Structure 1
Amino acid sequence: MKFDLVIAGVGGQGNILASQVVAKCAMDAGYNVVNTETKGAAQRGGSVLSHVRIADGEIFSPLVPAGQADVLLGFEPLEALRYIGLLSKKGTFIINTAPVPTILANLKVDEYPSTEQIVAVIREKGLAGHFLNATRAAKELGNVLLTNVVMLGAFTAVSNILPPDVVLKKLLTMVDEKFHADDSRAFAVGRGLIGKEG
């Protein structure tokens, strides 16, 4: 068994927590796991890419090679586009359509394309996946910081690598108890978004 997950986002979106939840669940299940991040000025809104590699045999590299990821979670659409080449032709993407321009885009060093342009380019690649607005769903729950939990819930709806209840329980052990009710709701909402939006 081999499973590769990449999570592409911007610093502050909580993708590192999400990757750690998946990694710890896989370790608890007895798999070999490597979890690593590549970051660019993460705390200033820079790019953050998390790699989670899970296998029942040896893992030779901490980084997911191009064209090999089973799932790409794009917490931010332009970051998802930037790393879509990591996704296997047989893989699945889940991309949050709410943009978070990086510091370079805000400084006009990078030009930020429209969400429609990003979606069109990704669709042209003929890959399977889901576009959803996890940020809007989190805001409707009362806290934009729940975006990562919405995305984590959505992940468990497209991948059967780990049981959803196990993932949620692991998440709750890693956050303050006062967030448990909101996180549980956000996780359920994320699972429900799969299939509702194309």
Structure 2
Amino acid sequence: MKFDLVIAGVGGQGNILASQVIAKCAMDAGYNVVNTETKGAAQRGGSVLSHVRIADSEIYSPLVPQGQADILLGFEPLEALRYINMLSKQGTYIINTAPVPTILANLKVDEYPSQEQMIAAIKDKGVSGYFLNATQAAKDIGNVLLTNVIMLGAFTRISKLLPPDAILQMLLSMVKEKFHADDKKAFECGQRLIQV
């Protein structure tokens, strides 16, 4: 058994926490796991790509090879588009449609593509998946910082590798108790957003 996951986003979106939750949960389940990140120059607002490799045999590289990811979680649409080629042709994506424009785009040095352009470019790649506005769903719960938890909940709807309850319990063990009620709400919201 081999499972490769990539999470593409920008600094500050919580994709490192999400990748660590899945990695630790897989280790608890007895799998071999490698989890690493490649980060852009800026910690907040810079590109962050998390790699989670899970197997029941030896894992020889921490980085998911191009075209081999089983699942791509795109916390930000332009970052998802940038890394969509990481996904295998049989893989599945879940992409948050809410943009986080770069500093250069905000300064009008760079042009940030429209949501329609990004979605069309992703669909042109011939891979299947789901688009959802996890950021808006998090705002509706009351905290935009729950976006990563919504994406984790959505992940459990398309991956049968780990039980959803185990992932939720691992998340709760890694965050302060005062956040637990909202985290549970966000996780369940993410599950509802994916109709499989």
Match of 2:136 in 1: 136
State how 1:1-198 maps to structure 2 within 5 Å: 1-195=1-195
Structure 1: distance between partners of 2:27 and 2:44: 31
Q: Which runs of 5+ in 2 are unaligned?
A: none
In structure 2, distance between residues paired with 1:103 and 1:60: 36
Alignment coverage as a number of residue pairs: 196
Letter in 1 for 2:192: G
Q: Name the SS for the 2:109 alignment partner.
A: coil
CA contact (8 A) 1:10 1:79 kept: yes
Contact kept? 1:11, 1:41, Cα under 8 Å: no
State which drifts further: 43-52 or 85-94. Answer: 43-52
Q: Deviations over 1:14-55 (max 9, x none)?
A: 000000000000000111100000001342301000000000
CA distance in 1, matches of 2:104, 2:23: 31
Q: Root-mean-square deviation (CA), in Å?
A: 1.0
Distance 1:46 1:59, change over 3 A: same
Conservation of the 8 A alpha-carbon contact between 1:12 and 1:45: yes
Instruction: Give 3-state SS (helix, strand or coil) of 2:71's partner.
Output: strand
2:48 and 2:105 mapped to 1: Cα distance?
15
| Contact kept? 1:68, 1:87, Cα under 8 Å | yes
Instruction: Give SS of 1:44's match.
Output: coil
For 2:72 and 2:129, the matched residues in 1 are separated by 9
- How far apart in 2 are the matches of 1:50 and 1:42? 15
Distance in 1 (CA, whole Å) between partners of 2:14 and 2:44 is 14
The runs of at least 4 consecutive aligned structure 1 residues that moved more than 3 Å come to none
In the superposition, the TM-score normalised over structure 2's length comes to 0.98
Contact 1:51 1:62 in 2 (8 A): yes
Partners of 1:111 and 1:153 in 2: CA distance: 32
